[in-house]
C-alpha cells in the first residue's frame, strides 16, 4: 500500500509509530456439530473475561473491570445460550458461537437505547473468544517490537489483553468501532492510543508496514514520509518526558499556584488499587467500593463476610483517609439474589436494615486506626441520612464516632443538597450518574462523564452542592470519572471542590494540573463556563480562554511544570 492517509475518529489520544500487525479473521471450522463443546466454550470464555477483569482491577481500573464483569454475565444470558444450543446442532461449535453472537449483536445494535447498542461489539468479542476456545486455537501471538494492531473491530477485553500482556502493541487501528464503545473506554484508561472507523481501506494494509497513528485526531498514515516519522517520534519522546515530570511531583502537595490545597484521593475496590494509589501519592481512598466482592453472592453478606472482604484493604490505610461506600447494588451491579429488584443504592439498603447494620458494624471494626468515613450511595433525602445515622449509632454505639457522607448523584438530590448537608459530615458528588441523569446519557457511555461533565447544567449542579456544603461547614469531594480529566479538574477547583478522588492511574495527572493552575483564575474560568452555551464551549474556555499559557501548560501534558517545595 503506497503512502496513504486514512481518516476516522479519535478514540484514545496519543501519537505513535509502529509496524502493522494484522489481526487475522477466523475461517470456517471443519469440526462436526457438538452442542456440549459449544456451550462449554461459552462458559470458558466467561471465565477468561473474569480473569481479564481481575487484571484490570489489579491495575487500578475498577470501572473498566466492571465493564468486563458485565460482559462475563452476558455469556450466561439464557437467550444467547439457547441460540448457541440451536445453531450447534447443525454447525461446528466455533461457527455456531460466532453466528449466535453476531445475531445477538445485530439485535442490540438496532436498539434505540445507546447503552445496549454499544454492547454489540462486546457480544461479538465474546463470540470470537468462545469460538477460538472451541476450535482449540491459540490467540495470535503478540509482537516483540513496537507495533500497531490493525483489525476490523475489537472488544474491551481484547484491548485490555493487548495492554496487560507481554507483547508490544503500542496502538490500535480499527476499520469499524466507535469512540463511545467500551473498547474505547478501556483504551483511554490504559493510555493505549486508538483510532476507529477508519473504513474498509484499512484491510489493504500489509503486514509489517510502517504506520503513524494519531489517536486524538483519528488519523492513520501508512508508509509515512521521513519528516512525518521524525515528528511522530519526537511527540512520543515528549510524552514520555511529561509522564516522568508528573511522577517527579509525587510527595509534593496538590496545591495550586496561589496556595489552595486540594485533598487528592484515589478510588479503589482492591488492595492492588489502594497500593497503586498510595504509591502515586494519594492521601488515602475517597471511594472504596464494597459491592464488587459480592456480585455473585447468594444472599446478603454477613458481618463476618464484610470483615473478611475489608480487613486487608483497610489495614493498608492505617493513619490515612478511608472512605468506605456501603453496598451500591442495583442496575448493572445486581447479584443473582436481587434479580428483578428495581431499587438501587441506599434506597435498596434501607429496605434491609439488618443487612445494612451488619455492614456498618464490619466497616467500623475493620477500619480501626484509619481516618474512617462511611459513604452512602445515591442519597435522595435528609431523612435517609438520619435513618442510617440512627442505625450506625445502634450498631456500634456512641464510643465509635464515624464521619457519615452522602453521595449526590441526581438532580433531585442536588435540589435537596442543603437539607442533606445539614445531616451529613461531608458530601461526595458522583459525576457518572449525575451527568447521565442531567443530560440524559447512560452512565456506561464514555463520557459522557469526562467531556459531558463540562455541560453548564452539570457544572451548575456541582456549584450548588459546593455552596450547600460550605454554608454548613462541611467538605465536598468529586469521585466520578470526570475528576480525573484535566479540563474538569480546572473547573472543579474553580467551583470550590475540596477533594478529588480518581483512579490510581490518574493521580499523577491530577496533581500536576492542580499545581499548574491558580485557584483564582480557575474560579474566573468556571464562572464563564457556567454561562457557556455547551459542554464543548466550556471545555474550550478552559483550554484557550483568558487563562493563557498557565492553563495550556497544564492541559497539554504539563511539560513546563516545575517541582515546587
Q: Is residue 135 within 8 Å of residue 88, measured between CB atoms? A: no
User: 417-430 as b/e, with b when 16 or more CB fall inside 10 Å?
Assistant: bbebbebbbbbbbb
- Torsion angle of the four alpha carbons 96, 101, 107, 110, in this order, in degrees rounded to the nearest 10: -130
Please give the DSSP secondary-structure letter assigned to residue 506. Answer: G
Q: State in Å, rounded, how far the first CA of the chain is from the last one.
A: 53
Tell me which of 266, 307, 461, 479 is the catalytic residue.
Answer: 479
Catalytic: which of 182, 266, 307, 461? 182
**Could you confirm whether 307 is annotated as catalytic?**
no
Query: Beta strand pairing status for 194-196 and 9-12?
Result: antiparallel
Contact predicate 555/216, CB 8 Å:
no
CA dihedral (374, 378, 383, 387) positive or negative: negative
Which residues are paired to 461 by β-bridges? none
DSSP state of 32: P
- Compute the distance between CA of residue 51 and CA of residue 305 in angstroms, rounded to an integer: 22
Sheet bearing 4-7, strands edge to edge: 4-7, 219-222, 210-214, 15-22, 147-151, 169-174, 194-196, 9-12
CA dihedral of 234, 237, 239, 240, whole degrees rounded to 10: 180
The residue assigned the cell 437539607 is 419
- Are 212 and 228 in contact by the 8 Å Cβ rule? The answer is yes
Q: 389: which 3 cell numbers? A: 445515622
Per residue, what are the HEC states of 86-152?
HHCCCCCHHHHHHHHHHHHHHHHHCCCCHHHHHCHHHHHHHHHHHHHHHHCCCCCCCCCCCEEEEEC
- Active site includes 182? yes
Residues 241, 450, 159, 68: is their CA dihedral positive or negative? positive
The span from the CA of 374 to the CA of 432, in Å, is 20
Q: Strand, coil or helix: what is 210?
A: strand
Give the Å distances, CA to CA, from 123 to 76, 77, 116, 184, 296.
Answer: 12, 11, 11, 15, 21
The torsion region of residue 322 among left (phi > 0), alpha (psi -120 to 50) and beta comes to: beta
Q: How far apart are CA 118 and CA 179, in angstroms?
A: 10
d(CA 23, CA 28): 16
| Residue among 536, 516, 64 nearest 273 (CA) | 64
Active site residues: 182, 479
Amino acid at each position: 500500500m503506497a503512502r496513504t492517509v486514512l481518516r476516522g475518529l479519535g478514540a484514545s489520544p496519543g501519537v505513535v509509530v509502529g509496524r502493522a500487525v494484522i489481526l487475522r479473521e477466523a475461517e470456517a471450522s471443519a469440526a462436526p456439530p457438538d452442542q456440549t463443546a459449544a456451550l462449554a466454550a461459552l462458559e470458558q470464555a466467561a471465565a477468561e473475561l473474569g480473569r481479564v477483569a481481575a487484571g484490570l482491577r489489579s491495575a487500578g481500573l475498577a470501572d473498566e473491570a466492571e465493564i468486563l464483569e458485565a460482559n462475563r454475565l452476558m455469556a450466561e444470558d439464557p437467550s444467547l445460550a439457547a441460540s448457541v444450543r440451536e445453531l450447534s446442532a447443525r454447525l461446528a461449535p466455533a461457527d455456531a458461537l460466532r453466528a449466535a453472537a453476531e445475531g445477538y449483536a445485530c439485535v442490540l445494535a438496532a436498539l434505540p437505547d445507546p447503552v445496549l447498542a454499544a454492547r454489540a461489539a462486546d457480544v461479538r468479542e465474546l463470540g470470537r473468544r468462545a469460538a477460538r476456545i472451541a476450535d482449540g486455537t491459540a490467540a495470535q501471538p503478540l509482537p516483540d517490537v513496537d507495533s500497531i494492531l490493525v483489525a476490523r473491530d475489537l472488544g474491551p477485553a481484547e484491548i485490555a489483553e493487548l495492554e496487560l500482556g507481554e507483547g508490544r502493541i503500542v496502538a490500535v487501528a480499527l476499520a469499524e468501532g466507535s469512540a463511545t464503545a467500551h473498547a474505547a473506554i478501556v483504551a483511554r484508561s490504559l493510555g493505549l492510543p486508538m483510532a476507529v472507523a477508519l473504513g474498509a481501506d484499512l484491510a489493504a494494509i500489509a503486514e509489517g508496514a510502517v504506520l503513524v497513528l494519531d489517536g486524538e485526531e483519528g488519523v492513520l498514515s501508512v508508509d509515512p514520509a521521513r519528516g512525518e516519522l521524525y515528528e511522530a517520534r519526537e511527540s512520543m519522546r515528549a510524552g514520555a518526558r511529561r509522564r516522568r515530570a508528573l511522577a517527579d511531583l509525587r510527595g509534593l502537595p496538590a496545591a495550586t499556584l496561589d496556595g489552595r490545597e486540594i485533598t487528592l484521593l484515589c478510588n479503589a475496590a482492591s488492595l492492588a488499587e489502594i497500593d497503586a494509589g498510595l504509591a502515586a501519592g494519594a492521601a488515602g481512598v475517597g471511594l472504596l467500593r464494597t459491592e464488587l466482592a459480592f456480585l455473585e453472592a447468594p444472599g446478603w453478606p454477613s458481618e463476618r463476610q464484610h470483615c473478611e472482604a475489608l480487613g486487608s484493604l483497610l489495614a493498608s490505610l492505617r493513619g490515612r483517609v478511608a472512605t468506605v461506600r456501603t453496598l451500591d447494588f442495583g442496575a448493572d451491579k445486581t447479584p443473582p439474589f436481587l434479580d428483578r429488584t428495581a431499587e438501587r443504592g441506599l434506597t435498596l439498603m434501607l429496605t434491609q436494615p439488618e443487612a445494612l447494620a451488619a455492614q456498618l458494624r464490619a466497616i467500623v471494626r475493620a477500619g480501626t486506626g484509619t481516618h474512617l468515613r462511611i459513604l452512602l450511595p445515591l442519597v435522595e433525602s435528609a431523612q435517609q441520612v438520619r435513618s442510617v445515622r440512627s442505625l450506625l449509632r445502634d450498631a456500634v454505639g456512641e464510643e465509635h464516632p464515624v464521619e457519615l457522607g452522602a453521595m449526590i448523584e441526581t438532580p433531585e438530590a442536588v435540589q435537596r443538597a442543603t437539607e442533606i448537608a445539614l445531616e451529613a459530615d461531608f458530601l461526595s458528588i458522583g459525576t457518572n450518574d449525575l451527568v447521565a441523569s442531567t443530560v440524559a446519557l447512560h452512565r456506561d457511555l464514555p463520557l459522557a462523564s469526562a467531556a459531558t461533565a463540562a455541560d453548564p447544567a452539570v457544572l451548575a449542579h456541582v456549584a450548588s452542592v459546593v455552596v450547600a456544603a460550605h454554608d454548613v461547614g462541611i467538605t465536598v469531594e468529586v469521585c466520578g470519572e470526570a475528576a480525573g480529566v484535566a479540563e474538569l479538574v480546572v473547573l472543579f477547583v474553580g467551583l470550590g471542590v475540596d477533594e478529588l478522588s480518581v483512579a490510581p492511574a490518574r493521580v499523577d495527572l491530577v496533581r500536576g494540573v492542580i499545581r499548574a493552575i491558580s485557584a483564582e483564575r480557575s474560579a474566573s474560568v468556571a464562572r464563564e463556563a457556567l454561562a457557556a452555551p455547551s459542554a464543548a464551549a466550556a471545555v474550550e474556555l478552559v483550554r484557550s480562554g483568558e487563562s493563557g499559557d498557565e492553563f495550556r501548560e497544564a492541559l497539554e501534558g504539563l511539560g513546563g511544570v516545575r517541582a515546587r517545595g
